[in-house]
Amino acid sequence: MRRLQIVHLYPRDMNLYGDRGNVLALVRRAQWRGWDASVVEVEPGDTVAWGDADLAFIGGGEDRHQAWIAEDLSGRAREMTAALADGLPLLAVCGGFQLLGREYQAQDGRVMPGIGWFDAITRAGPRGRHVGNVVATAALPLDPPTLVGFENHAGETVLQPGQDPLARVRVGVGNNGRDGTEGAVAGHAVGTYLHGSLLPKNPHLADWLLAKAQMRRTGDERLEPLADDWEWAAHAERAAEPRR
């Protein structure tokens, strides 16, 4: 039986707007394929056996939570980036995405160092919060290429030269509302501002992460297809919403 271990980083403090649903979606889609899926929840100070991990997730959090999460995450930077360099798939949403970049400067001026996996810098923006539904076209080889989700963030992220975005925004703000980018991709790690939860409404992205997890262990990224009628109905409904 295929084994899947998901490392869920900081579920207590980094779990805004249904982010935990992404982990539930990954577990369920693995179980539907007959895999033995488990979740290891990691809080500040906990030890992580990265060699046993098949996939990782970190959600979004408020600034007051991000401050101490950033400190703990910096202590994991060497081992975590080594695992990512070895092909570990990861999904990072909103605050998690920011802390996997170079740094995040909060509204009060505090600068929180990131682990630098994504070549991106985030500043609290002057225009208030960006809230609403998002429709974007993925840069990943997804079929269809559309991604849908919900954003609620004040941070504005700028990707540095050479850093690939996850997608290009068609509806919504995305990273900063100026350059049309949404999220970032480096190796098999995906960063994004899309909450909602993201993966239940984007089963092709969930399967992209699962396929990379399987490939890392077996060399084969082919997955058995699933009957995703409900997931695609939710995706289509959100994708059809008019420009806000």
Give dist(CA 8, CA 23) in Å, integer: 8
Assigned CATH for 3-239: 3.40.50.880
From first to last of its 244 residues, the chain has per-residue pLDDT tens of 799 999 999 999 999 888 999 999 999 999 999 999 999 999 999 999 999 999 999 999 887 778 889 999 999 999 999 999 999 999 999 999 999 999 999 888 889 999 999 999 999 977 788 999 999 999 999 999 999 999 999 999 999 999 999 999 999 999 999 999 999 999 999 999 999 899 999 999 999 999 999 999 999 999 999 999 999 999 999 998 766 5
Please choose, from the candidates 92, 73, 93, 102, the residue with its C-alpha nearest in 3D space to the C-alpha of residue 153: 93
Q: What is the mean pLDDT of the chain?
A: 94
Q: Under DSSP, is residue 151 helix (H, G, I), strand (E, B) or coil?
A: strand
**Digit-coded pLDDT (tens) for 39-59:** 999 999 999 999 999 999 999
List residues with catalytic annotation.
94, 195
CB atoms within 10 A of CB 134: 27
Between the alpha carbon of residue 218 and those of residues 176, 188, 206, the distances in Å are: 38, 16, 18
Cβ atoms of 101 and 119 within 8 Å: the answer is yes
The two three-digit tokens of residue 55, written as one number = 């996939």
